[in-house]
Chains A and B, each alone.
Chain A
């Protein structure tokens, strides 16, 4: 029987292992090597340059600006998404007899999550259109002409207009996660708190929040990782970098794409990939450390 089982194990594992090694692991490993060369894709040999790509990147103003934008998104995206999602989740679970139309809201809020980011990006390009767009027209209709902007054409607003689209799409997803987490808290905790005369806000702060802390941390890490990416939305909403203000929304992933597929500086692009990996890992560790709390078992 024992040697029989390997007749199943080996052929069952082989396809997955093969595909994974060739198309995922090998490129990942290769990226580290490429990042130490000045390869431009033409010659067969890849000139070794050591850490030069990295040092060049770290003195390139354009790269540092892009990195800075990721840094700003790293604060705004998690904060915006989690706060709104938490507020809605609390409304659905903590509010008396249950919210009217809860099922409807849930379906609607979650919907953007299943739609292609490309559709969302194009759609919002038109929502933000200064003349015909839904946003400016609505503002004018409400008598708020002074607030109208050329949202995606103005260097001051372009990144935030795109950041809003991310939050708009992500809130429903995290709300559903938070609702599930809130619903798994035993009701007896709240009963006791009500007997003690705790207000709804105190119940949320002292029972709900601490008991779902693990879920919030996880959400924080997911969103932070996404904030380091943002490629699709930005690429689409800046027309592939063709608009005048698009440089003001260039993040590291977009910089890398330009470096690779427009400038053919493959070694440098690979180095950007490695830097993104290091940042992702570092960020996860830092968030885990900073948000560490006593965990409550229940």
Chain B
């Protein structure tokens, strides 16, 4: 829940993140030879708070999934019991009657544009800033990264009127433009650090062979930067998928709502309709894509997200 485009999220060079576990103080103690009864007792006692916190994290989510599979009656009469029969039609109702299908579709359209746009635009700018010498280079880098410091709230009111003037309110491409713009500071900052670490010889060899600068970028440098692009792809996917404030202000037409905004709308509505099971099913639907991304890219995501803070 911590990643939004434009958030003042992790700042500082992303270079050499530690992923491989290194020998820590822990091993040092055992190597000196103190791992005896005390260490075993510690092992056991440590499990208590650890299990407790794990339960605190997992149980609400399990409860959410279980509730999504119950009837509304069961939710009220037996909130923690197992459902008598799995109510898969809750998901159908969430998708159609509660419009999650529409919100899903809207989100996909916006993000197809914004995610590719963010990566392409940032990669081009970061590449030039990282690898070419020209007057104003440093100033540009600072200008972009300064965006990391400003709260999104500062520009919110003028942004709304600007979008109105440009006839971009309630449009897919309008929201995509804003997503890209607010994702630039961190993405450029991260990718510039990445391009700096790439070796220059391959590109030089390409130039010698008569490749144009464009060919060098698209055919040599971009493929080499793939790990960085993937890291930023995941980061921005999560940030833009979960974004709430910007669409809340810029997409006020219900038929254009995106997911987290639509979900909030639904939550307020269901309070009156008492159709909790559809609401919980909708929450599961919105959560599943992020869950899948998290499980597949867990390691890479962790190191990418925490990259900044490490060297802070």
Contact = CB atoms under 8 A, between A and B. Distances in A.
Interface of A: 4-9, 12-13, 15-17, 19-20, 22-28, 30-31, 34, 41, 84, 87-88, 91, 93-101, 104-127, 132-134, 137, 168-173, 176-177, 180-185, 187-191, 194-195, 203, 207-208, 214-215, 217-219, 222, 225-226, 228-229, 231-233, 235-236, 239-240, 242, 253, 256, 260-261, 266, 269-270, 272-274, 276-277, 280-281, 284
Interface string B6-46: 10111010000110011111111111101100111011001
Given A168-B56, A177-B310, 6 more contacts: A117-B242, A122-B279, A125-B267, A228-B151, A270-B157, A280-B8
The 5 A-B pairs with the shortest beta carbon distances in the complex, nearest first, are A218-B312, A96-B39, A27-B155, A23-B181, A16-B125
A116 B286 CA distance: 8
A118 B5 CA distance: 15
Contacts of B23: 187
Contacts of A235: 244, 264
28 contacts: A15-B125, A16-B184, A23-B181, A27-B154, A27-B162, A28-B158, A91-B49, A101-B50, A105-B53, A107-B298, A108-B58, A110-B302, A111-B61, A114-B291, A116-B1, A119-B283, A122-B283, A123-B64, A123-B283, A134-B79, A176-B306, A184-B18, A184-B22, A214-B312, A218-B12, A232-B1, A269-B157, A270-B157
B159 A27 contact: yes
B224 interface: no
Nearest to A135: B60
Contacts of A189: 25
Contacts of A134: 59-60, 63, 79-80
B85 interface: no
B147 interface: yes
B250 to A, nearest CB: 10
Nearest to A259: B157
A116 B76 CA distance: 26
A232 B244 contact: yes
A102 B307 CA distance: 21
Interface of B: 1-3, 6, 8-10, 12, 17-18, 21-32, 34-35, 38-40, 42-43, 46-47, 49-50, 53-54, 56-61, 63-64, 67, 75-76, 79-80, 121-122, 124-125, 127-129, 132, 134, 140, 143-144, 147, 149-151, 153-162, 177-178, 180-182, 184-185, 188, 213-214, 217, 238, 241-242, 244-245, 249, 259-261, 263-264, 267-268, 271, 276, 279, 283, 286-287, 290-291, 293-294, 298, 301-302, 305-306, 309-310, 312
A6 to B, nearest CB: 7
A127 B60 contact: yes
A12 B125 contact: yes
A27 to B, nearest CB: 3
Contacts of B54: 104-105, 108-109
Given A15-B121, A24-B182, A118-B244, A239 B267 contact: yes
Contacts of B56: 168
Nearest to B19: A180
Contacts of A118: 242, 244, 260-261, 263-264, 286
B240 to A, nearest CB: 11
A188 to B, nearest CB: 8
B127 A116 contact: no
B26 to A, nearest CB: 6
Nearest to B63: A134
A218 B309 CA distance: 6
A105 B268 contact: no
Contacts of B185: 20, 24
Contact of A183 (B8, B18, B53): B18
Contact of A172 (B57, B149, B156, B182): B57
B158 A231 contact: no
B38 to A, nearest CB: 8
Contacts of A99: 43, 46-47, 50
A135 B287 CA distance: 22
Given A28-B154, A100-B47, A222-B8, A173 B2 contact: yes
B305 A173 contact: yes
B57 A108 contact: yes
Most chain B Cβ neighbours within 10 Å, of A13, A109, A127: A13
A101 B58 CA distance: 15
A277 B134 contact: no
A84 B42 CA distance: 18
A222 B312 CA distance: 11
A6 B305 CA distance: 34
Contacts of A133: 79
Nearest to B159: A27
Nearest to A141: B80
Given A122-B279, A182-B24, A187-B24, A23 B157 contact: no
A182 B47 CA distance: 20
